[in-house]
Amino acid sequence: MRCNVPGRGMQYEKHAMTCQPENKIQVDRRWWQPVLDFILPPRCVLCGQSSGAVCICAGCWTDLPWHGPHCLRCGLPLGSVRDKICGACILNPPPFTRTVCPLLYEFPANRLVRSFKYKRQLAAGRVLSHLICEYVAVHEVPLPAMLIPVPLHKFRMLKRGFNQAYEMAAYAGRTLDIPLLANALRRRRNTPAQSGLSRKQRRKNLQGAFYWHGSVRPAKHVVLIDDVMTTGSTLTECARVLKKAGAKRVDIWVAARAVPANRGGADTAISQARHPRAQPSAL
Ligand SMILES: [Zn+2]
Ligand SMILES: [Zn+2]
């Protein structure tokens, strides 16, 4: 696993798979960060207590809604750790190969996402991206040759002032030393929310909403980054566009996975109880 060690350039370190994932990756920090930390000591984005560089305290990190055994392809919960892929993905494989989603989209993960997206709390975004990087390091997830953020429509970009997926991809790219390609995957239509629509309606709603722009082709193995995977239809459509543009393998990295009511319940509760809870590398 490649690790970005600030001040020493990129170093390469092999990590064994373990349920004690402390210190798997270094926190991405700029040269001016120690000065800023001195003036404004980092605080936990959830409870406000003092924290390490990741801006989440050990207690809040432990209390995050960690995702238990889930389908490696679509990220939905599975009842057993023995299963790797769910029946739906076997019958109807999506255009992406693997979904990395360390959290369930439940409290307080949803609070982190809302603070990041709607209150411009960039520290919350760094926590979300750090979660992905930790998961990737601990589970030895194959690294792609390129990270691509899910694009935001220009109107929504103007309203929000930033693309949350880009911010997360930039952090992950610096931390894991993976090139980032922004602006090649583009959104031509501002589509309404997908939740509440049927699968067919969602597909129709997103048809032609994304396109590949420019002469650079996507790498053979690329990762699409976003904050949350809800219905999965946006990421599915983006993955289709990337495959059409030349990518051979597309993976999805999101901080949290929303689970439909009929896929959660007891299985999720059981899986969470069985799942060892990770610790952050630099609190
Ligand atoms: Zn806290
Ligand atoms: Zn699946």
DSSP for residue 233: H
Domain membership flag for residue 17: no
Rounded-to-integer distance, Cα 77 and Cα 258, Å: 10
Residue 95 class from Cβ within 10 Å (0-12 exposed, 13-18 middle, 19+ buried)? middle
Domain membership flag for residue 9: no
Among all bound ligands, the one having the nearest atom to the CA of 51 is 1
15: Cβ contacts below 8 Å, ≥ 6 apart: 1, 24, 137, 138, 140
- Measured in Å, residue 88 CA sits from the centre of ligand 2 at 6
Domain membership flag for residue 168: yes
- Measured in Å, residue 270 CA sits from the centre of ligand 1 at 25
- Measured in Å, residue 1 CA sits from the centre of ligand 2 at 26
Q: What is the pTM of this model?
A: 0.81
Domain membership flag for residue 145: yes
Among all bound ligands, the one having the nearest atom to the CA of 111 is 1
In angstroms, what CA-CA distances link 277 with 61, 76, 138, 191, 268?
Answer: 9, 18, 12, 36, 14
- Measured in Å, residue 85 CA sits from the centre of ligand 2 at 5
pLDDT at 7: 29
Domain membership flag for residue 74: yes
Ligand 2 is an ion; its neighbours by CB within 5 Å are 71, 73-74, 86, 89
Question: Strands 2-4, 98-100: parallel, antiparallel or unpaired by DSSP?
Answer: unpaired
- Measured in Å, residue 130 CA sits from the centre of ligand 1 at 15
Rounded-to-integer distance, Cα 54 and Cα 130, Å: 7
Which residues of the chain are modeled with pLDDT < 50?
A: 1-23, 265-283
Domain count, the chain: 1
pLDDT at 69: 93
Domain membership flag for residue 279: no
Within 10 A of 116 (CB to CB), how many other CB atoms are there?
25
pLDDT at 33: 67
Domain membership flag for residue 282: no
- Measured in Å, residue 94 CA sits from the centre of ligand 2 at 8
The region that residue 246 occupies, defined by phi over 0 for left and psi between -120 and 50 for alpha, beta otherwise, is left
State which residues form the domain around 221: 66-274
CATH value at residue 228? 3.40.50.2020
- Measured in Å, residue 49 CA sits from the centre of ligand 1 at 6
Rounded-to-integer distance, Cα 114 and Cα 104, Å: 14
CB 96 within 8 A of CB 283: no
Rounded-to-integer distance, Cα 58 and Cα 19, Å: 16
Among all bound ligands, the one having the nearest atom to the CA of 63 is 1
Among all bound ligands, the one having the nearest atom to the CA of 78 is 2
Among all bound ligands, the one having the nearest atom to the CA of 72 is 2
Rounded-to-integer distance, Cα 204 and Cα 63, Å: 38
